[in-house]
Amino acid sequence: MPISVDERMRQWDDFAEPYARLAQRCPEDMLDALAALAGNRPAIELGAGAGRIAIPLALRGVPVTAAEFSPRMIRHLREAAAREAVSNLEILQCNFASLPADKRYGLAYCIDNGFFALCSEEEQLRCFRAVADVLDEDGFFVIEAAAPTPAQLDAGARIVYAAPCSTIVERFKRDGASTISLIAEITTNDAGENTQAARFWTLAHHYVPAAKFDDYAGRSAMTLHAMVGLERSTL
């Protein structure tokens, strides 16, 4: 039984503060690529989080709809947008497996493994079909995804963020078709000694290989434009 949307919302609400605090600035080359794909058309971000991509993309002149289902994430997003005085950003609270069909976009994108927060293949396929329904005929759907490798799953953990005094470690536990990720933040001093007890957050994901994206796309009348930086067999 997939974990409910309400439970996932609670999980991401709990994680909103550390995410907003630790999320790194969006790389300029990623913003360049997204802005070029959008052109002069609106874009929609699925799982916008605290706005690390939606806000700088909007500041480049791209009208952005930020779809996010965590109320606490949206609070951080609104605060960040207000600080930057962003005027062309619309915030939409929803489970992005379903999208309102009253607006069309030249670009839809889902970054930072956000797509895997949809915790079943049925829900992930619904997302592809929802995106297909709101994209222009020549629009683009961009997904940035890095599922754990089999070796990482066997090892039970991977480091997802490392800074001089803070490390984020993701530990994995299987729960039926989903993977439960236990996120731990470990803070240290210059001597490498822990400065406080580790903090933990639980997030559910449903990881799939790259071939499954091809399947979703084909069943949604989409075609592959490009795959960059990852082996198709391992994602």
- What is the reported pLDDT for 148? 83
Token code pair at residue 117: 């927060």
pLDDT in tens, 117-126: 998 899 999 9
Q: 124-149 b/e with 16+ CB inside 10 Å = b?
A: bbbbbbbbbebbeeebbbbbbbebbe
| C-alpha angle 118-161-114 in degrees, rounded to nearest 5 | 15
| C-alpha angle 59-64-69 in degrees, rounded to nearest 5 | 120
Nearest one of 11, 234, 19 to 111, comparing CA atoms? 19
- What is the reported pLDDT for 162? 73
- What is the reported pLDDT for 233? 28
- Model confidence, pTM: 0.86
pLDDT in tens, 142-162: 999 888 887 887 888 888 777
Q: Give the residues of the chain that fall short of pLDDT 50.
A: 230-235
